[in-house]
Structures are given as C-alpha cells and as structure tokens.
C-alpha cells in the first residue's frame, strides 16, 4: 500500500474511534462513514470471512462499516442465516468462529466496524418446539415453548401445541407474524435475558461494532430501545420495510429518554432511485414533502441522521429467473453516484462494489473530500427527466452530483466559476468545490497507483494444484465439493474416500486434488458420513493446500483447520540437477524473482516449502 492510502486508512481508523462516535448510541451525529453490505443472496464464495478479511486494506480506503450475514450456526449447507438456530455457536456457511474473530479483529485494526445481522424476531427449532440448549461462560440459555407468541403462524402453532400438550406464551405478537419459524414473545423475561446476553456477546466478546436488526416489523420498537440501551450499541439499523411515515414512527418508537436508539434503512430512497433509473425519469429523485409516505428519510432534516440509504440489497436484487423481485435494472453506477453524494449514511451493495469498484471507489473519495455527512444539506439545481442535479454541502466544501441520460451535455449554471468537473461516468458527473480539487488530484493519483499494482498482481498469476487432506475419527468419509459453477465431486454426499489416502508426516490422510486455474478461483468442501448422516458446516473459499481434522460431536461433524501444523507435507520441486526452479511466486500469484528465506511458495505450478 502506498503512503497516501496507508495514511488514509489511519485517518479512517481515527475517525471511527473518535470519542464523540464512541459515546454515540444508535447512530452518530453528522456521521461521515459509508457502509458496505458485505453479501448478496447466496454469496457464499465472496462473503466468506477469510476472503473479506483479505480485502481489509482495500475496504478501509472506502468503508467505515461492513454489514455481514448472521454468523451463527443455522444448520444445513448454504444457509444465509435468516432462520437462526444457535446464537453462541459461530460456525456458519461463511466460515468458523476462529475465522470470524480474525476478520472482525483485522477490520478493527484497519478502522472498519463490523455490523452483525441480528435475527431475534423469530427462532428456528428442531421440530415445532425443540429449541437447542446453549451454554456460555457457565450460564445456560434456552428458549422455551412459553416464549413463543400465542398467535404464532396465524394460530397453527397453538393448534400443534394443544396436540402435543405444550404451553405457549399468554401474549400475542407485538408486531407482524412471520411464518416458518417460531415468533418470539419479547415480553418474556427469558427472551429478554437471552437476547441481552447474546448481544453483549456479539459486541464485547466477538468484537462487533453494532447491529442490523432483521424483520423489526415483527415486534415493538420499544424492545429495540431496551436491548440497545442494555448493551450500549453504537450502531443500530433496523429493517422496517414500509412507507417513510411508518419508518419514522418506528425510529421514534426506539427512543430512550426521548432520543432514538436506532437508525433505519431508507426504503423510499431506494424506490425513488429505482423508479428514476428504470423509467428514465430522474424527476422521481425530486423532493416532494407533500407526499410524506414516499418522501425519503434522507430528504427530511428531522430524520436524515437516522437514514441508511441504499439502492439495492439481498432482498431486492435479481436472484434468478424464478424470483426476479424488483431490481434496479440499469444505470447501477449512476444510482450509486447519486446515493454517495447525498445525506444519510450510504450502504453500498456488495454485488455493485464487485462490478463497479473503480467508479464507486472514486465516488466515495469525492464524498469524503467534501466532508458530506449523514445530516448534510442540499439544493436541487436541475430537474428534468434526462438531467437532474443537486448541490450537497459537506464540512469542507460542496459536491454537485448530476445524473440522467443527457447529463453528458449538462453544465451546472452559476457554478462554473466555483466548481470543477472531477469525475464522470455512464449517466453521471461530479463537480467539486475548486478549493478541494488539488486534494482530489492527489488522492486520484494514489487510487490509480493502487489499481495498477492490483493489475500487475493479477497478471503474474501461475495456475497450480491445491490438495485437501482430511483425517477423521469416523468411517465412511465422503468429500463433497463445489465452486461457483457447480459440484466438483458428484452429487451429495460426494465422493467416498475409501482407499484414497496418503501418508504425510507419518500419518494417514484422505486427500483430493483440485486445480486452481485463476487467481480468484476458490472451491468449497464438506466432510460427511453419507446422506442423512452427520456433516461439517460449509468449509468455504479454499484455494491452497489445506489439512483438516474431523470429529463427531453432538450429532454433527466438527472440523479444525490444522494446515499450519503440517506444512512439511508440501513437496519441494527441483530441477534435474537438483536445484530449485527459478520462477517463484507467492500464494497471491506475484512473481518474486528469488526465493525468500522461509515460507510457502509456487514453483513450476506446484507448492513448495522453503
């Protein structure tokens, strides 16, 4: 990382740790940060903890917060976590607890706060009423049937409870019903005890910075106030999918001592942006205070501090041909440009970041240089279907954002002597206050240098083979593997490993070899006993030779990555005269020229240990 970007990361870190932010509850005032939604639906490859951690330096140049999926164990292969089963078992489809802790710690070192996806409206069971028992620091936590809302699942749960001779809570749900899991009664002292202990664990043990609350329409906002006050959550944002009037009521309903304790996602901002770009009519972006239900929180001075804006998320994105939902169909870059110039706290969607990284990186840089924050003011200076422009005031200067199909021909009148065009792309432009242009030019050079280094790293990659070793205390052993394109070792439960073993360091291991054809290629694996038998959680994002142990525990297979203990199992590659080949690459595919003193490297397409 060059000196400028390193300094930039340090500055971001200091902002994140400032005393004013540390004392805030719910959401900081005049917050200048930008959040990344670090997942999309079925993003098991891109969102694994180890992969996100490896991007910490780059992410820190753009993002102050990263919201990740529910990290608790939810059972089954490829589970997004919205039907939670365990709170304290942190082995999910995105990685194990050790990997999670490492990622959160690394993020924190780079000034990034990690936002937990907290799903407490409902809870999964093993059967209708069998909640798992969990123990943490000597305390036992277990939901009971009497913690289930009396009217859960429209009365179906009560009917089943009578058949089974089971008692439910005497209280009805304090919000909307949600089918599929048991809706929890947040009036219950046991529910409150478990949720408070869980959230304390997330913040003060795992190291999360705050919460994204799922399905908050399912229970009273007064409980958000109680939980956030108990754990002193610095960052809290709720998913209240509704009109702006109702979102505002929910935010106000989270108040403690008259002050809200949670922000909310600005769904009406998202719909304004979607309609403007899908319909080629940017007049949809205009403020309309008379239509309050469709008037984004970010447009309203009274509530823009609590507005987390977005243009797409995992629920609105296009998933597949059978579930198209209502996506933003075009002008993704322009939509993000508008969001990243406006007040509120922007939340960039991971799929957009991956597809439009160069533009979004520059847009966020311009926002930061101008000092635009969650409560910035703005003025509309152009309003037509094909060209729309706002001038937004930051702490250090102002930024003009212009979007629309004819914006290429647009110049902001009355601002030509005070602002300079610094950035333009497909259907968007940014004009920055003249006094900030020099700073922009310096930071743009740093960005371009970083991008050039990334291109060089990509071009230096040499394909190789990764071997997965497993030593299990059970038989039979199956390897099930897949990548982003599909299965690698056949249908579930995968390949029976009987007889496929190799002795490494005097021990016998099951093994399978996997070609790594490109720098970004990764595969995933599950060790299991066969169909309907115990299995590990998903072990995702493998791209190097790895060693695992697998043991049966509590009806499933637990695994440990013991690669560091078995590096001697990697074979040295030599030329015919006994010398090492000269083309040497690190595990990121960078050509090193000479062999360093110690480590694991690639030579001749194979791994070596020095």
Chain-wide mean pLDDT for the chain? Answer: 88
Q: Which residues contact 452 (CB under 8 A, 6 or more apart)?
A: none
| Cα 16 from Cα 33, distance rounded (Å) | 8
Is the pLDDT confidence value at 23 over 60?
no
588 neighbors 543 (Cβ within 8 angstroms): no
- Give the pLDDT of residue 528: 95
Model confidence over 192-208: pLDDT tens digits?
999 999 999 999 999 99
- Give the pLDDT of residue 379: 96
| Cα 145 from Cα 131, distance rounded (Å) | 8
Give me the mean pLDDT over the 368-389 stretch. 97
DSSP codes, 587-605:
TT--B-SS--SSSEEEETT
- Give the pLDDT of residue 571: 41
Is the pLDDT confidence value at 454 over 60?
yes
Is the pLDDT confidence value at 24 over 80?
no
Give me the mean pLDDT over the 67-87 stretch. 90
Identify whether 476 is preceded by a cis peptide bond (ω within 30 of 0): yes
- Give the pLDDT of residue 574: 35
Q: Is the pTM of this model over 0.75?
A: yes
- Give the pLDDT of residue 191: 98
Is the pLDDT confidence value at 312 over 80?
yes
Is the pLDDT confidence value at 7 over 60?
no
Is the pLDDT confidence value at 3 over 50?
no
Give, in order, the Cα–Cα distances in Å from 313 to each of 84, 334, 351: 20, 16, 9
Give me the mean pLDDT over the 251-267 stretch. 97
| Cα 318 from Cα 309, distance rounded (Å) | 19
How would residue 601 be classed by pLDDT, with cut points 50, 70 and 90? low
Q: Which domains does the chain have, with CATH numbers?
A: 3-20+34-376 (3.20.20.80), 464-569 (2.60.40), 571-610 (no CATH)
User: 152-161, 458-467, 573-582: which has the minimum mean pLDDT?
Assistant: 573-582
Give, in order, the Cα–Cα distances in Å from 75 to each of 70, 86, 416, 443, 536: 12, 9, 59, 45, 10
| Cα 191 from Cα 493, distance rounded (Å) | 37
Model confidence over 486-530: pLDDT tens digits?
899 999 999 999 989 999 988 999 999 999 998 888 898 999 999
How would residue 322 be classed by pLDDT, with cut points 50, 70 and 90? low
């Amino acid at each position: 990382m060059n000196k400028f970007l390193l300094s930039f990361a340090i500055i971001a870190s200091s902002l994140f740790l400032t005393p004013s932010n540390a004392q805030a509850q719910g959401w900081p005032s005049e917050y200048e940060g930008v959040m990344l939604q670090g997942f999309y639906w079925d993003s098991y490859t891109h969102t694994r903890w180890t992969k996100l951690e490896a991007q910490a330096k780059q992410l820190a140049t753009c993002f102050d917060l990263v919201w990740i999926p529910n990290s608790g164990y939810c059972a089954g292969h490829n589970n997004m976590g919205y039907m939670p089963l365990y709170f304290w078992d942190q082995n999910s489809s995105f990685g194990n607890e050790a990997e999670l802790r490492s990622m959160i710690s690394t993020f924190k070192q780079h000034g990034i706060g990690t936002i937990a996806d907290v799903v407490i409206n409902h809870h999964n069971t093993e059967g209708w009423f069998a909640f798992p028992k969990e123990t943490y620091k000597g305390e036992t936590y277990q939901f009971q049937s009497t913690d289930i809302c009396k009217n859960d699942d429209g009365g179906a749960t009560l009917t089943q409870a009578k058949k089974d001779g089971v008692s439910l809570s005497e209280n009805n749900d304090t919000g909307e019903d949600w089918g599929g899991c048991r809706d929890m009664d947040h009036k219950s002292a046991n529910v409150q005890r478990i949720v408070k202990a869980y959230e304390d664990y997330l913040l003060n043990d795992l190291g999360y910075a705050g919460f994204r609350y799922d399905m908050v329409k399912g229970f009273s906002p007064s409980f958000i106030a109680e939980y956030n006050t108990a754990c002193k959550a610095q960052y809290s944002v709720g998913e209240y999918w509704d009109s702006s009037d109702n979102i505002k009521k929910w935010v106000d309903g989270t108040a403690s001592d008259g002050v809200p304790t949670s922000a909310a996602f600005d769904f009406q901002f998202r719909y304004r942006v979607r309609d403007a770009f899908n319909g080629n009519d940017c007049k949809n972006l205009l403020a309309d205070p008379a239509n309050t239900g469709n008037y984004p929180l970010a447009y309203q001075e009274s509530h823009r501090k609590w507005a987390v804006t977005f243009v797409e998320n995992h629920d609105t994105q296009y998933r597949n041909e059978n579930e198209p939902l209502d996506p933003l169909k075009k002008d993704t870059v322009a939509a993000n440009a508008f969001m990243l110039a406006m007040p509120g706290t922007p939340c960039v969607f991971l799929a957009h970041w991956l597809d439009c990284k160069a533009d979004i990186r520059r847009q966020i840089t311009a926002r930061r240089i101008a000092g635009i924050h969650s409560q910035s003011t703005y003025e509309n200076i152009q309003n037509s279907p094909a060209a729309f422009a706002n001038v937004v005031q930051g702490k250090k200067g102002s930024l003009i954002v212009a979007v629309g199909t004819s914006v290429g021909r647009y110049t902001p009148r009355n601002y030509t002597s005070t602002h300079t065009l610094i950035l333009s792309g497909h259907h968007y432009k940014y004009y920055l206050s003249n006094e900030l242009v020099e700073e922009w030019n310096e930071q743009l050079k740093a960005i371009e240098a970083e991008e050039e280094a990334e291109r060089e790293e990509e071009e230096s990659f040499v394909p190789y083979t990764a071997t997965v070793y497993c030593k299990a205390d059970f038989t039979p052993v199956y390897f099930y593997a897949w990548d982003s394109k599909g299965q690698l070792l056949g249908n579930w439960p995968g390949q029976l490993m009987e007889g496929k073993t190799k002795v490494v360091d005097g021990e016998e291991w099951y093994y399978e070899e996997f070609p790594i054809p490109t720098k970004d290629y990764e595969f995933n694996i599950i060790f299991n006993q066969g169909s309907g038998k115990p299995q590990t959680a998903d072990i995702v994002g493998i791209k190097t030779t790895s060693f695992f142990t697998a043991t049966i525990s509590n009806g499933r297979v637990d695994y440990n990555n013991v690669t560091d203990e078995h590096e001697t199992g990697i074979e040295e590659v030599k030329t015919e005269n006994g010398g090492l080949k000269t083309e040497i690459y690190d595990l990121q595919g960078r050509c090193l020229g000479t062999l360093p003193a110690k480590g694991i490297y690639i030579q001749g397409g194979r791994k070596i240990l020095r």
